[in-house]
A and B are shown apart, each in its own frame.
Chain A
Amino acid sequence: MTLQSDTDEIRQIEAEAAPTRFARGWHCLGLTRDFGDGKPHAVHAFGHKLVVFRGGDGRLNVLDGYCRHMGGDLSQGEVKGDEIACPFHDWRWGGDGRCKKVPYSKRVPKLARTATWTTLEQDGMLFVWNDPERKPPPPEVTIPRIEGATSDEWTDWHWYTTVVNINCREIIDNVVDMAHFFYIHGSLPTHFKNIFEGHVATQYMNGAGRPDMGEPGKPQMLGTTSVASYFGPSFMIDDLTYHYEEADHQTVLINCHYPIDANSFVLQYGIIVKKSDALPGDLALETAIGLGDYVKMGFEQDVEIWKNKARIDNPLLCEEDGPVYQLRRWYQQFYVDVADVAPDMVDRFEYELDTTSPREEWMKVVEGNLADRSAAGTT
């Protein structure tokens, strides 16, 4: 008997361990309103425990969380003047990382300096610059201003924070993953394009509404227009417009994260909504909350996949998939020294997807769902 021996090669999933180095770049730690109360706050980031505090001079500072004297936890300490005082022996540390005073000693010892992270307060958010080479942030990679964030014509930030126990590359992959927007998030992409250049990676996506998913009686969303860019390794600004029959709802969605360690990160997202005749103040806020909950559901759907999936360095792609490898090549620039950034990591790359074939399939699914619905008498 001859079994048809399957000599065809089996595709193996390959994956190296997640990098222990943390990305060079600006990372948003959250809203300044949550850090600026004059008390020390602990933040676990970049493999460290950090302390964030606003000094008497009004500046927000980020220091390594442990006192260089005897290892006291500065986030349990107290802000005294412009400095953070250690709860153990009252040593005082300034925002520049230097020990300013040891109250019971005549002088501060040599080398009394701890690690600090350069901070930026902008548009209601606190950013820190992380760089394993400890160089200052170049001006050309600064986070762009978000016009609506400081305008009365927009709502305040509606902000969410959650911990995800996986390496943060998974969330970056979403930039190019058109098909998952249908299968995981119930979107219906009709146009999809990526451009990577320098430290910016952009996703242009238009989506159609899902007639099979709306709640009966509620206004039907016609579609979305989205331009979403990562400015550096972790901070995405998404200019996202929801189209309804009666009006467009203009929103800005922030999708950002910072690594806790190699295998976990803090995911944050924030939304502001532009007020308009169709959306006066209260209604705009309601919309921000509603969209926020919707986005939250979306990320929870992602997290459910991430929790259970395998890390994969050699994804097997079909023509209708996005440029996963080229995105990861772009992302790699943040994990090497500046001197080792290769041209192809930052050279411009454009990728426009043909949505024809995916849409044909997805419309069949939508029509099937609609048929099921009407058979069940729910419409």
Chain B
Amino acid sequence: MAVRPDNRLADSPMVPVCCRRCGASVLARKSSWNQTSVQWDAEASARCLERREAENLAAYAGRSLFLACSALSDAIIEAVRHGDLPVVDETVPATT
């Protein structure tokens, strides 16, 4: 029962983005300015400083507090500005 690939990734795959703070490399995709997906791997998770800070706090709070890394979010925005990360909204012409 293998899981299929996401049909949306065929035209616009995830692309690597590197965090400027810790050097973690993730895969990112932007559907629009306000829609982002981020695929981490174990190495990136281990590197991320904000994640570590959140984990230290979570030890007192119980559940996980880590919603997103702000430094990585900045890196993703920078990648869009530099043209390294396309925004699907702006690259795919409307079909209707």
Residues of A within 8 A of B (CB): 14, 16, 19, 144, 193, 195, 197, 200, 204, 229, 313-320, 323-326, 328-329, 332, 335, 343-344, 347-356
Contact = CB atoms under 8 A, between A and B. Distances in A.
B45 A354 contact: no
B56 to A, nearest CB: 17
B3 A329 contact: yes
Contacts of A348: 38-40, 45
A229 B5 CA distance: 24
B79 to A, nearest CB: 16
Nearest to A322: B37
A326 B6 contact: yes
A231 to B, nearest CB: 10
Interface string B1-34: 1011111100000000000000000000001111
A37 B17 CA distance: 58
23 contacts: A19-B1, A144-B62, A204-B67, A229-B63, A313-B4, A314-B4, A314-B7, A319-B32, A319-B89, A320-B31, A323-B6, A324-B6, A325-B6, A329-B3, A343-B42, A347-B39, A347-B41, A350-B37, A351-B36, A352-B36, A352-B37, A354-B32, A354-B33
A354 B5 contact: no
B57 interface: no
Nearest to B37: A351
B71 interface: no
A195 B67 contact: yes
Given A16-B1, A343-B42, A317 B37 contact: no
A317 B40 contact: no
Contacts of B63: 144, 229
B38 A354 contact: no
B34 A356 contact: yes
Contacts of B42: 343, 347
A144 B61 CA distance: 12
A356 B5 CA distance: 26
Contacts of A316: 7
Contacts of A14: 4
A241 to B, nearest CB: 15
A378 B1 CA distance: 52
Interface in B38-91: 38-42, 45, 62-64, 67-68, 88-89
Interface residues on B, range: 20 to 34
B32 A356 contact: yes
A42 B89 CA distance: 54
A197 B67 CA distance: 11
B3 A319 contact: no
Contacts of A204: 67
B4 A350 contact: no
A351 B38 CA distance: 7
B8 A317 contact: yes
B17 to A, nearest CB: 12
Given A332-B1, A347-B42, A348-B45, A354 B6 contact: no
Nearest to A239: B63
Given A352-B34, A354-B34, A347 B1 contact: no
Contact of B5 (A318, A325, A349): A325
Contact of B3 (A144, A193, A317, A328): A328
A332 B3 contact: yes
Given A19-B1, A348-B40, A349-B40, A319 B6 contact: no
A338 to B, nearest CB: 16
Given A144-B63, A317-B7, A343-B41, A354 B35 contact: yes
Contacts of A200: 64
B38 A350 contact: yes
Nearest to B32: A354
Contacts of A343: 41-42
Contacts of B32: 319, 354, 356
A348 B54 CA distance: 15
